[in-house]
Amino acid sequence: MSDIEAAGWQCDLDLIADAAKQAGAVALSFFHQSPEVWWKNEGRSPVSAADFAANETLGSILMPARPEYGWLSEETDDDPVRLERETVFVVDPIDGTRGFLAGMPTWCVSVAVVRNGRPVAGVLYAPALDELYLAQVHGPALKNGVEISVSNAGEHAIQRLATAEEMLTGFEPGFRKTVERVKHVPSLAYRLAMVADGRLEGTLVKRDSHDWDLAAADLILERAGGALVDLAGDRLIYNRPSVSHGELCGAPVAHMPAFLHQLSYRRDS
């Protein structure tokens, strides 16, 4: 990639960071205010007036600035034209809506620029915590302007892992003894940010996560020395006709082989 393209991604990063902060301020104005709630996916997933308001803010800033880009958002009807675009905005106006509605602060606005299937700029903004994570494909991962990196704990240290209890039950007994399962964090994007800044050694993700949950956090984790992969160890491709994914693992690159081995062991046992 040329220096001109790299500079362009920094310009896009600046753009989406500003949009995420503005959308975060809008969402924060609804926090603890009991916004109106609807249910989607046959009543399994809540969406609130805050989600829609933040989504409108993102769209009103980003699309006029880059009209040639496609658009993929959890709260907008899917437009198949995105598949014809090399570059796409992938956004989740509030990742962790259940936590948001319950008054938990660990929710965030997630915005990514995806080019040819991979994120090249990504922002996570957690306004209730005053935390801004960002990265572009040629730079470091930053949290509130300070470079972050994944945990450097040794392979025999206690592994702080964010995952459902049932995902651990099939692991080898010896490995399970090294795992400290952390309290549930409703926002998947924020869990991946916790891996990126070293508060967790990993997170295991159930099937049916979506592009908008993952794209920005994927890049931030990558630039911090980690990876988000499927059970074959392959990095994810975004902006496909299907935007859902199977089981995934996010972890420091150095820890990934051990986690993938345990996931394979669980699957085969």
Among the three residues 123, 147, 171, which one is the final residue of a domain in this structure? 147
Identify whether 11 is part of a domain.
yes
pLDDT at 6: 58
Please indicate, yes or no, whether residues 106 and 179 belong to a single structural domain of this protein: no
Percent of the chain at pLDDT > 70 equals 96
Please indicate, yes or no, whether residues 23 and 139 belong to a single structural domain of this protein: yes
Please indicate, yes or no, whether residues 39 and 109 belong to a single structural domain of this protein: yes
Please indicate, yes or no, whether residues 25 and 133 belong to a single structural domain of this protein: yes
Range name among 85-94, 98-107, 128-137, 147-156 with the lowest pLDDT average: 147-156
State yes or no: pLDDT of 171 exceeds 90. no
The per-residue pLDDT for range 18-69, each reduced to its tens digit, is 999 999 999 999 999 999 999 976 657 899 999 999 999 999 999 999 999 9
The per-residue pLDDT for range 66-80, each reduced to its tens digit, is 999 999 999 999 999
Answer yes or no: are the C-beta atoms of 27 and 53 closer than 8 Å: yes
Among the three residues 118, 147, 176, which one is the final residue of a domain in this structure? 147
User: What is the pLDDT averaged over residues 102-123?
Assistant: 98
Identify whether 152 is part of a domain.
no
Please indicate, yes or no, whether residues 11 and 142 belong to a single structural domain of this protein: yes
pLDDT at 169: 81
Please indicate, yes or no, whether residues 129 and 231 belong to a single structural domain of this protein: no
The per-residue pLDDT for range 215-267, each reduced to its tens digit, is 999 999 999 999 999 999 999 999 999 999 999 999 999 999 999 998 887 77
Please indicate, yes or no, whether residues 227 and 109 belong to a single structural domain of this protein: no
pTM of the model: 0.95
Please indicate, yes or no, whether residues 135 and 238 belong to a single structural domain of this protein: no
Identify whether 154 is part of a domain.
no
State yes or no: pLDDT of 4 exceeds 60. no
Answer yes or no: are the C-beta atoms of 148 and 245 closer than 8 Å: no
Length in residues, the chain? 269
Residue 165: which CATH number?
3.40.190.80
Full domain range(s) for residue 227: 159-268
Task: Report the chain's mean pLDDT, rounded to a whole number.
Answer: 93
Please indicate, yes or no, whether residues 95 and 218 belong to a single structural domain of this protein: no
Tokens representing 164 are: 């459902």
The per-residue pLDDT for range 16-31, each reduced to its tens digit, is 999 999 999 999 999 9
Please indicate, yes or no, whether residues 128 and 228 belong to a single structural domain of this protein: no
Identify whether 202 is part of a domain.
yes
With 0-12 / 13-18 / 19 or more C-beta atoms within 10 angstroms meaning exposed / middle / buried, residue 153 is middle
Q: Hey, how many other C-beta atoms are within 10 angstroms of the C-beta on 221?
A: 30
User: What is the pLDDT averaged over residues 111-139?
Assistant: 98
Q: Which residues are CB-contacts of 43 (< 8 A; sequence separation ≥ 6)?
A: none
pLDDT at 263: 86
Q: How many domains does the chain have?
A: 2
Q: Hey, how many other C-beta atoms are within 10 angstroms of the C-beta on 164?
A: 12
Identify whether 80 is part of a domain.
yes
Which residue in 190, 168, 192 sits closest to 181, CA to CA? 168
Please indicate, yes or no, whether residues 92 and 131 belong to a single structural domain of this protein: yes
Please indicate, yes or no, whether residues 12 and 114 belong to a single structural domain of this protein: yes
Identify whether 244 is part of a domain.
yes
